[in-house]
Structure 1
Amino acid sequence: MSNLDTRPDEVVCAAAAGDLEVLTPREVPLGGPRAMRVRRTLPQRSRSLIGAWCFVDHYGPDDVTDTGGMVVAPHPHTGLSTVSWLFTGEIQHRDSAGNAALVVPGELNLMTAGHGISHSEVSTDRTSTLHGVQLWLALPDAARDVAPGFAHHAPDPVVRDGLTARVFLGSLLGETSPVETHTPLLGAEVLLEPGTRATVDVDASYEHGVLVDTGAVTAAGTTLAANDLGYLAPGRSEVELVAGDEPVRLLLLGGPPFGEEIVMWWNFVGRTHDEVVAYREAWQSQLVDGTQHDGRFGVVADEPLAPLPAPELPNARLRTRS
């Protein structure tokens, strides 16, 4: 998914101390005035990263007959991986590395941009309701210039008393995803029946995020409402989840503190102002008369949508922190 803000915020990211935070989202339109809206909980002022997770967009249930669904034309990425996970609907993914894949509920699509990639995402004609998340992972310095890549995984459900989980990245509840990542990570969808109390063993070296999709859940003693993202600092070897009176669906995300500072602007993750300027110039140089030409970010084949031009950079230099 692209960040379609015409004036995207510069985000200087660094790990912050603290044990528990409740992060609430802001709404962002994905296109014009009637476009579908997404709820963005990362990044924000109080916290920019949870492990390597640096961007969390949560959307739907969206009636595509009203909004037109997801229509995101070709756009570039560097220095990150995108994680697509759907609850309802279907999205056609195409990228400049030659990958064309459907995003469907309960199956992971992970695209690694590395040195540079461009891609498009469009909900299919078969989709009447669209509901899911789009997540970004910052790549560590040693891997942020790797060649583009793509992985797909359909995890089997793990069933416990009142709990069903699908582990799409990392390990949880005795299940391990085969998908390789450039930093240790956890990503899992967890369903809880009403009133379920479950204690989940986790890696104590990780920080964790609990993104609530439906229902209300008490996580580590704090109640989270739908659309909240709860942050838990490292040091816990287990997390207790208690469902309220309604079924709960949540994502459990995690990873060790990233340990590197990044600058994220528009669809680029870099380390310096000059890097981001160069990424933007490289993308703009590929756009000629509304069409996409070959270059650093490649060309999305068989794509009818015109590529998205990059917004203007802010007047001030993008800041970095060391």
Structure 2
Amino acid sequence: MSHAEVEVLTAREVPLGGPRAMTVRRTLPQRSRSLIGAWCFADHYGPDEVATSGGMDVAPHPHIGLQTVSWLFTGEIEHRDSLGTHALVRPGEVNLMTGGHGISHSEVSTPATTLLHGVQLWVALPDAHRHAPRDFQHHVPEPVHRDGAEIRVFLGTLAGTTSPVRTFTPLLGAELRLAPGATVTLPVDPAFEHGLLVDEGTLDLSGTSLHPADLGYVAPGRPALTLTNTATTPARAVLLGGPPFGEEIVMWWNFIARTDEEIRQAREDWAAASDRFGEVKDYDGDRLPAPELPTTRLRARGRVR
């Protein structure tokens, strides 16, 4: 693979969670690329000292047409949703929530958390399943070791291990840790496009140097990816992948739909406290209000805009 065939996407800083917002680095979506496979949203945050930042406190809010994937490096987050789920997000453990027709949830860092650091990811549901019922899954992947790399596969298949977590399109999600100077070549599905989000250290992806918060994009057609930790300190990254998502989506606030009208209806349902989204119990505070919709129609977008 040549240097030119790795596209480097840079993140922008945005506030998350309303009036008690923490700052996150958002890599997806952006104008140059809206999706990688069905992955349509990637926030990367920390390491943040909770005593300074205030931690995470995202009040109950709604979702439609997607799955949320929570993955932590450090800290602990309390998850509550309108299924009645009360779960903890911990490092090395994946929580996946399905909000097809409608779900709501809250996310709050626990009092024991002093350092908060992780990623929040969304997966767009394909048209045939975008009204799927609410669901929640939890999985603790066993680490796999290859050539100085430690790999935790939380979705899909990589390095001879497969996650049991159910998705509605083929996907890959894995945390990679590379020892200083290590090089690892990982066979991947050539039908997939991939994105490597660097968390710490400096990684060379097939000739392109990636630094923290960079995401290196690789188009379909490659049977393997070669990564090298060029630094004298450990490196860590999250590898995302999937076949190109062949549908256009309308994405606004916490909703993924296909038309402007569907988004406006979902907002109206949330504002009216409709049963569509259920109720998150035992959260100390009010629900997040929906922002105002634009006066112009929301436009659909696909893989590359």
Q: TM-score category by the smaller chain? A: over 0.9
- Partner amino acid, structure 2, of 1:168: F
Query: CA separation in 2, counterparts of 1:121 and 1:271?
Result: 27
Unaligned runs of 5+ in 1: 1-17, 287-293
- Aligned CA RMSD, in angstroms, stands at 1.4
Q: Once the 2 structures are TM-superposed, how far is the Cα of residue 33 of structure 1 from its aligned partner?
A: 8.1
- SS of the aligned residue for 2:222 comes to coil
- Partner amino acid, structure 2, of 1:283: W
Q: Where does residue 211 of structure 2 map in the other structure?
A: 225
Q: Where does residue 309 of structure 1 map in the other structure?
A: 289
Query: CA separation in 2, counterparts of 1:126 and 1:113?
Result: 29
Q: Where does residue 296 of structure 1 map in the other structure?
A: 276
Q: Once the 2 structures are TM-superposed, how far is the Cα of residue 221 of structure 1 from its aligned partner?
A: 1.3
Q: Once the 2 structures are TM-superposed, how far is the Cα of residue 321 of structure 1 from its aligned partner?
A: 5.8
Change (3 A) 1:99 1:64: same
The reply on whether 1:318 has 2:303 as its aligned counterpart is no
- SS of the aligned residue for 2:262 comes to helix
Query: CA separation in 2, counterparts of 1:33 and 1:109?
Result: 25
1:1-322 pair list within 5 angstroms: 19-31=5-17, 35-245=21-231, 246-286=233-273, 295-320=275-300
Superposed CA deviations along residues 170-206 of structure 1, whole A, max 9, x for unmatched, are 0000000011100000000000001111100000000
Q: Once the 2 structures are TM-superposed, how far is the Cα of residue 130 of structure 1 from its aligned partner?
A: 0.1
- SS of the aligned residue for 1:142 comes to helix
1:115–1:146 CA contact under 8 A, matched in 2: yes
Query: CA separation in 1, counterparts of 2:67 and 2:120?
Result: 11
Query: CA separation in 2, counterparts of 1:281 and 1:312?
Result: 11
Provide the TM-score with structure 1 as the length reference: 0.90
Q: Where does residue 15 of structure 1 map in the other structure?
A: none
Identity %: 65
Superposed CA deviations along residues 204-234 of structure 1, whole A, max 9, x for unmatched, are 0000000000001011211101110010000
Change (3 A) 1:164 1:67: same
2:34–2:301 CA contact under 8 A, matched in 1: no
2:18–2:58 CA contact under 8 A, matched in 1: no
1:36–1:62 CA contact under 8 A, matched in 2: no
Q: Where does residue 8 of structure 1 map in the other structure?
A: none
Query: CA separation in 2, counterparts of 1:87 and 1:230?
Result: 20
49-58 or 241-250, larger mean C-alpha shift: 241-250
Superposed CA deviations along residues 274-299 of structure 1, whole A, max 9, x for unmatched, are 0000000000001xxxxxxx511000
- Partner amino acid, structure 2, of 1:248: A
Query: CA separation in 2, counterparts of 1:321 and 1:38?
Result: 23
Query: CA separation in 2, counterparts of 1:215 and 1:230?
Result: 14
Aligned residues: 298
2:18–2:288 CA contact under 8 A, matched in 1: no
2:10–2:214 CA contact under 8 A, matched in 1: yes
